[in-house]
Structure 1
């Protein structure tokens, strides 16, 4: 039975709390938030202790903690958790700067503790299936992956633009599916309803002339979350929301069998399994830092109107 805690009880933090509470091999030891009324209500609902000072929670001899606080606080809370001897899952993006991400990665290695980044779409069942199909070579060599992640603006997002808030998901997924890091970025973006960019088109370049394209905005009145992977022997069409995956080639249109599930539950179960078994985590600090660096390069690219080399 692993002892876990959650720091941060916002919209995403509540889901971490709910899922840990339901997991059989986990004891939800406590939760923490500076909003005393909210954290007390949630602790009553999920039958656990509550703290307004997260250091008191970290003093409870935890095996693991989810850090679900504003991005600018990720580094300090992560370092405190690692110093307390706790394995850490940090929500995306890993940090507010690549330099802070580096500090977190080095601290996790020094402490010999896991540092996992919550890139939730890696745990979407349709993405898991597509990764298997690509790695098995069923579509031949993949040469292009494009995504569309658009929808209405959420007023709670005030500290970052659309690239760091939701574009980061697809930047990470495209790298994950290729198994490669981005080496060049060119972006066009603008800010019409938000202090930061609220629409962006991001072109990613990889080795071997492979490409990625991320189209994202907060201007579309309904949510669309899809991905297209073009291979030499077929094309895959993925819907993140409905968790469906269609494969097209010159002879057939086939729907892949996807075992639908809640991506966050898959993510947290994977985190707990890796801690229990020592399995190497694929959504690790280095991956998180790379996704952040690509986002920052995309922001620099649209501001300077030039291609950025990583």
Structure 2
């Protein structure tokens, strides 16, 4: 296998994870890390530590990963695109739609492989769920409900809970049920004294008619990452913290009570927890991006897809500001 020379921008908390995986996977050599704060945690290994993206590019890169804070994604991405370096940028792609559009244009116009780190698409529970839904195991899909809550992560300072956490649920929901968002209605709150929102509740309608809800916050003492998909045959529950997928089957219980025989509802049936392989999602993400750079057919989340997730996130924030339902098409520029 050809060995690709990789560069990493940013070695904060998430960047350190990227550095570890980039050093571990076959066919990739981490040759340089760019962070003005230096390598305080000693994660670069044998890679050269530099201050700027320009200095990183000068090392000669075949691919790059941007794990800097969201506000730096645009500048770093544009510099890498101008240098012709295929790049994966951590989610969210950018701080706003305009910046996301600039990144998409820069990489697509240069014909460069590009990706966004929406890592939940590599989670084994969600990958199995998507396949089962596509195979019709649930029948008609009625509703998707996600809960993503936990304590505030001190690593986040430049965006609120919508851009940092809710973008996970926005992206995975559209991907799992294979339908884009049509409209959103949201409420946010600021409870911790920070500049950005730390709580959001979203109700959405997908283009295929599925009803969706997202509950996301940085205010809970327990950490929870759940996706529940309900349909005509029961409900799937994906726990992405554990990588577990469970199916709650609709039961069929006859009743002799005449008054309720005509009631069309469901009852509790069998519960199945699936045994599925559980590779590390970040490793899967990097191996897929490596293969894409090498020209192989593989699954990556493109920057264009990441841009649409930013668009829906912006629609949620606009809905909360204006106290109304926002159609995602309102935010599409021409």
Partner of 1:210: 210
Query: 1:180-195 maps to which residues of 2 (within 5 A)?
Result: 180-193=179-192, 194-195=194-195
Distance in 2 of aligned mates of 1:184 and 1:37? 43
Q: Is the 8 A contact 1:105 1:285 kept in 2?
A: yes
RMSD: 1.4
CA deviation map 1:197-230 (0-9, x unaligned): 1111111111232121100111110101111001
Unaligned 5+ residue runs, structure 2? 252-268, 329-334
Deviation, 1:196, is 1.7
Query: 1:51-130 maps to which residues of 2 (within 5 A)?
Result: 51-130=50-129
Partner of 2:321: 303
Deviation, 1:302, is 1.0
Q: TM-score, normalised by structure 2?
A: 0.88
Distance in 1 of aligned mates of 2:34 and 2:154? 24
CA deviation map 1:225-257 (0-9, x unaligned): 111001212210110101110112235321122
Is 1:248 aligned to residue 266 of structure 2? no
Is 1:42 aligned to residue 60 of structure 2? no
Deviation, 1:279, is 2.6
Is 1:229 aligned to residue 247 of structure 2? no
Is 1:27 aligned to residue 26 of structure 2? no
Q: TM-score, normalised by structure 1?
A: 0.95
Deviation, 1:56, is 1.4
Partner of 2:8: 6
Provide the secondary structure at the position in 2 that maps to 1:220: coil
Deviation, 1:101, is 0.9
Q: Is the 8 A contact 1:147 1:170 kept in 2?
A: yes
Q: Give the one of 303, 311, 317 matched to 1:293.
A: 311
Distance in 2 of aligned mates of 1:23 and 1:58? 21
Partner of 1:284: 302
Q: Is the 8 A contact 1:59 1:84 kept in 2?
A: no
Provide the secondary structure at the position in 1 that maps to 2:181: coil
Deviation, 1:188, is 1.2
**Residues 138 and 48 (structure 1), Cα distance of their counterparts in 2 relative to 1, 3 Å cut:** same
